[in-house]
Amino acid sequence: MVHEPCELGQLQIGYIQPVNDLSTPFTLADQVIVALRKVIGQKSAVLHEPTFSGNEWLYLKECLDSTFVSSVGKFVDRFETDLAVFTGAKHVVAVVNGTAALHIALKLAGVNSGDEVLIPALTFVATANAVTYCGATPHFVDSDENTLGVDAVKLRDYLEHHSKQRAGQCINRTTGKIIRALVPMHTFGHSVDLDEVISIAYDFNLALVEDAAESLGSYYHGRHTGTFGLMGTLSFNGNKTITTGGGGAILTDDPELARHAKHLTTTAKLPHAWEYRHDEIGYNYRMPNINAALGCAQLEQLPAMLKAKKELFQRYQAAFATVSGIRLVEEPAQCQSNYWLQTLVLDSNNADQRDILLQATNDAGIMTRPAWILMHELAPFRECPRMDLAGAESLVQRLINIPSSSTLLQAVS
Amino acid sequence: MVHEPCELGQLQIGYIQPVNDLSTPFTLADQVIVALRKVIGQKSAVLHEPTFSGNEWLYLKECLDSTFVSSVGKFVDRFETDLAVFTGAKHVVAVVNGTAALHIALKLAGVNSGDEVLIPALTFVATANAVTYCGATPHFVDSDENTLGVDAVKLRDYLEHHSKQRAGQCINRTTGKIIRALVPMHTFGHSVDLDEVISIAYDFNLALVEDAAESLGSYYHGRHTGTFGLMGTLSFNGNKTITTGGGGAILTDDPELARHAKHLTTTAKLPHAWEYRHDEIGYNYRMPNINAALGCAQLEQLPAMLKAKKELFQRYQAAFATVSGIRLVEEPAQCQSNYWLQTLVLDSNNADQRDILLQATNDAGIMTRPAWILMHELAPFRECPRMDLAGAESLVQRLINIPSSSTLLQAVS
């Protein structure tokens, strides 16, 4: 799941409405604004903005001075190595953005024209788009109230009833097409129930590709998200925990997949001093060195950012402890979340409050945002196969992201 | 035609072999090295390297300080405006690289799955790849000895014999498929014979998309290349005349095509304060603000770079005036070339000298390179339709690019 196209987090909202007089009866919107103000103070706040407080300038200058700003240069190699160390993935291939990472990972997972790929309906559109770039069709899966990601219990039951195994392949009983892969997305940085998801992938012969675009710095059973599947993908868009301007990465423990990913993302050119021989259809998806330079500096700051984001969560937790009718999303069991986007979920009987809350908070200079429109409700994906999506449909009516920048508390204090 | 993947120009070659003793008989390779040394001096030289002598650092710092490094930011808007002013195109859409520009331009030109698209066999692989991204098939065209681009006379004759018109569409008589578009590429910065190419596109109902990846700063009849077709595409890879690290642009005079190109390259999201509604399959192809910041500074330097490259050509022209059996490529009639890559073409009877020259010059620390392997000789494109390609096949055996950086003379003096 990637969020490159629209840095809403960086829309500047310049004015602040005063909180209601405490003598008037408190609406839920009033209570939410008071709780938010307890944490972020009286200033306006955007959803998520990057911070460049480390070696960013130094490395960019070093990159310019070297004249190696493009496809060749030491920062790309270093960024890949640093990411491998941080995530524990054996191999990392840096690419131009998270969408490109997902496209290549799906291709290398064997997704072919005519296949289906299971993805959550509750995701950013890039997950679905990447499937279509392979000529395949997204097949939408419901989401779990707790993890906000793939509902593993429902998915297993669905596949038991709606798919069959033939020659080691999972076949959609209705369409007759091969369901080739499963792409769980770790929503807002919270890991899906990976134990169960891995078990489903195994039992139903599905290639597992983790969309970890939102979960750099998130762990499941102490292991980094994106390193459980055949491959995982990251995003470093401007709205992410760390940014390279635009960027992404493919994680894998398989040396041959890593080699092939690097080959495909660099136009499939065979090495030669001067000959331009390309042995398959390739892509121009490599990360430029200048973006990697930014990434190296950002990655150095990541531990401090994660600490700050966890502290922000704890401050929100305290502030919302007394607000009833709404809950702050906590990291699921067995998970350590990066808390990329802090999230409120309204109780079911308060779903009609979502738009009121969105309006009131944004009017008050506190940027908030609902989840994405569910994929099966978008024009290009209306006809795609899907399971019952009651969980995702309910969540999307009740979910609100609130200001989440790692610098938010610094700005307050 | 784009050259993002492999900045051979930046491979460092650190040693220099002495020129042969003048008392020994001069081979052609010896003569070429002597001529090259007259211009570039005794130092080693790469094929093409960027230079950052203007406001690059200032703008990068301004970009970082603003925290707007990604999809939103003033440098993208400014780069698009500055490019429009420079090229005379009414609309410019900055994108992530030249391949992406070509992909979207072809889509918007109506290239559909199953179509064929006429492209030169003598081009970088991105031209052919972009066609396949649309689900279409490249159909290879021969090249002209003089312009190094589409041989318009041969192409007209070929289409007269091998295509037919049906309901306003050009049909390949052999395959029965629609030939939807024609993509001339302005090789090494030299414009194709646009008058004749435009006339062919008109007469045969072909959408004209100019691959101007190599020809920023090149003009035909005083008008900038890339502004004659329905759309044109540029590249700002690290090996190009100016660079954004990785980047490209779509040029068009049609406001609706420009709007649609911007929409498709930014995930086809409809404008809304917080809603994520995408009305078609889109792409994550926008240029990040930090890359555009670099581009704005580079574009300011472009006139000086073009002047330096023209001077380099003139110095090579003088140096090679007395070398027989080989010619230095000059801008074709009616054209003003950017001289992106300076090019030598061996006489037909000297074709067997190409590899000897490549080896000798590279051994001498002077980086040279042949043209790309012709597209129809690459594994993924062997079965694609093609006309007789004798011109391109002959050229590719005789063509050598020589050091072309705009700073080469500065470095010598």
pLDDT recorded at residue B3: 39
User: Are the CB atoms for B73 and B66 separated by under 8 Å?
Assistant: yes
Q: Could you report the per-residue pLDDT of B20-36, keeping only the tens digit for each?
A: 455 555 899 999 999 99
Q: Once rounded to an integer, what is the mean pLDDT over residues A342-361?
A: 97
Q: Ramachandran region of residue B373, left (φ > 0), alpha (ψ -120 to 50) or beta? A: beta
Q: Once rounded to an integer, what is the mean pLDDT over residues A194-203?
A: 98
Q: Once rounded to an integer, what is the mean pLDDT over residues A318-343?
A: 97
Q: Where are the alpha helices (DSSP H) in A266-320?
A: 289-320
How far, in Å, CA of A184 to CA of A99, rounded? 15
Question: Does A373 contact B275 at a Cβ distance shorter than 8 Å?
Answer: yes
User: Are the CB atoms for A332 and A152 separated by under 8 Å?
Assistant: no
Q: Could you report the per-residue pLDDT of B299-336, keeping only the tens digit for each?
A: 999 999 999 999 999 999 999 999 999 999 999 999 99
Q: Is any Cβ of chain B less than 8 angstroms from the Cβ of A394?
A: no
Q: Which has the minimum average pLDDT: A17-26, A123-132, B210-219?
A: A17-26
- Give the DSSP letter string of A143-185: B-TTTSSB-HHHHHHHHHHHEEEETTEEEETTT--BEEEE--B
Interface of B with A in 345-384 (CB under 8 A): 358, 362, 368-370, 372-373, 378-380
Q: Is any Cβ of chain A less than 8 angstroms from the Cβ of B336?
A: no
Considering only CB atoms, B69 lies closest to which of A50, A69, A276, namely A50
Q: Could you report the per-residue pLDDT of A352-384, keeping only the tens digit for each?
A: 999 999 999 999 999 999 999 999 999 999 999
How far, in Å, CA of B374 to CA of B190, rounded? 18
Q: How confident is the model at residue A412 (pLDDT cuts 50, 70, 90)?
A: low
Interface of A with B in 245-284 (CB under 8 A): 245-246, 266-267, 269, 273-284
* Chain B residues within 8 A of A114 when measuring between CB atoms: none
Mutation to test the B interface, candidates A61, A129, A278, most B Cβ within 10 Å: A278
Q: Could you report the per-residue pLDDT of A149-184, keeping only the tens digit for each?
A: 999 999 999 999 999 999 999 999 999 999 999 999
For residue A12 the two structure tokens come to 């500047």
pLDDT recorded at residue A167: 96
Give pTM, 2 decimals.
0.93
Q: Is any Cβ of chain B less than 8 angstroms from the Cβ of A69?
A: yes
Q: Which has the minimum average pLDDT: A10-14, B203-207, B305-309, B341-345?
A: A10-14
* Chain A residues within 8 A of B380 when measuring between CB atoms: 278-281
Question: Does A237 contact B70 at a Cβ distance shorter than 8 Å?
Answer: yes
Q: Could you report the per-residue pLDDT of B342-388, keeping only the tens digit for each?
A: 999 999 999 999 999 999 999 999 999 999 999 999 999 999 999 99
How far, in Å, CA of A237 to CA of A209, rounded? 20
Q: How confident is the model at residue A124 (pLDDT cuts 50, 70, 90)?
A: very high
Boundaries of every domain in chain A: 8-51+301-412, 56-298
> Distance (Å) from the C-alpha of residue B205 to the closest C-alpha of chain A?
28
Domain A8-51+301-412 has CATH 3.90.1150.10: yes
Q: Is any Cβ of chain A less than 8 angstroms from the Cβ of B11?
A: yes
C-alpha dihedral over A187, A189, A195, A198, to 10 degrees? Answer: 60
Distance of CA A144 to the CA centre of its chain: 16
CATH class of B56-298: alpha beta
Which amino acid would we find at residue A58? L
pLDDT recorded at residue B24: 54
pLDDT recorded at residue A7: 38
In chain B the first and final C-alpha atoms are separated, in Å, by 33
* B8-51+302-412 fold: Aspartate Aminotransferase, domain 1 (3.90.1150)
pLDDT recorded at residue A413: 52
